[in-house]
Amino acid sequence: MPNSTREQMQRRNVLRELLQRGPASTQKTLVQALSARGLHATQSSVSRDLHELGAIKTGQGYRLPEPTDSQDEMNKVAEFLREILPAGPHLTVIRTAIGAAQRVALALDRCDWPEMVGSIGGDDTVFVATDSAAAQKLLIAKIERTRH
C-alpha cells in the first residue's frame, strides 16, 4: 500500500534534514536513518524521494545541491508562501500571504526555471503554467525546497 502524502512529506523533510548535515553514503543508510526516526521507508521510496528533493550523487554519497541564485531569489519570498497545489498537469496554484503574490510571481520569473512557461500574480494567489506534468513536479519540488 502506498504511503500517504503526509508520511511522504515527513519522510522527505527528515531526508532533507539528514542531507543538510552532510552526504549519505548509500540509500540503504538513509533507509536505516529514517527507520531509526520511526519512519517506514524502502530503498525505492528513498530513491523517489531523493529524486523529488533534487539530491545528487557524488563520490562522497547523496547530497542536496548547493543553493543557486534562483534559490536565493526564492528564499527572499519563502516566508510569504502558504500552500502549493497542482491544478491539473499544467497549472500550479501558489497561495501566499495577502498582498505578496506579485512579489512571489516576480521572484519565480527571475529564477528563469525551464520548467516554467509563465506566471500570473494576483493579491494572494500565483498561477504558474508548465508544459508538462513532469515539469510541474520538478517546479513544485524546487519551490518546496525554499520553504524548508
Using the 3D structure, point to which of 40, 63, 86 is the last residue of a domain: 63
Task: Give the Cα separation of 125 and 4 in Å (integer).
Answer: 26
Read off the pLDDT of each residue in 16-25 and give the average, rounded to a whole number. 91
Do 59 and 73 lie in one domain? The reply is: no
Q: Around Cβ 66, how many Cβ atoms within 10 Å? A: 7
What does the pLDDT look like over 100-135, one tens digit per residue? 999 999 999 888 888 899 999 999 999 999 999 988
Domain with 17, as residue range(s), is 5-63
pLDDT of residue 38: 93
Q: Which of 117, 70, 77 is nearest to 97 (CA)?
A: 77
Note the pLDDT of residue 65: 72
| Domain match, 17 and 79 both | no
Final residue before a domain boundary, out of 15, 38, 63: 63
- Residues 105-116 as b or e (16 or more Cβ within 10 Å = b): bebbeebebebb
Amino acid 68: pLDDT: 61
Q: What are phi and psi of 28, to 5 degrees?
A: -60, -40
Burial class (CB in 10 A: 0-12, 13-18, 19+), 50: buried
Judgement on whether residues 75 and 138 belong to the same structural domain of the protein: yes
CA distances from 138 to 57, 69, 115, 124 (A): 18, 17, 7, 23
| Structural contact between residues 24 and 62, judged by C-beta atoms closer than 8 angstroms | yes
Overall domain count for the chain = 2
> pTM, whole model, 2 decimals?
0.56
Query: Mind listing the pLDDT tens digit for each residue in 56-86?
Result: 888 888 988 766 667 788 888 999 999 999 9
Query: 70: Cβ–Cβ under 8 A, 6 or more apart, which residues?
Result: 110, 111, 112, 113, 142
Residues 9-22: what's their mean pLDDT?
Answer: 90
Q: What is the pLDDT of residue 1?
A: 40
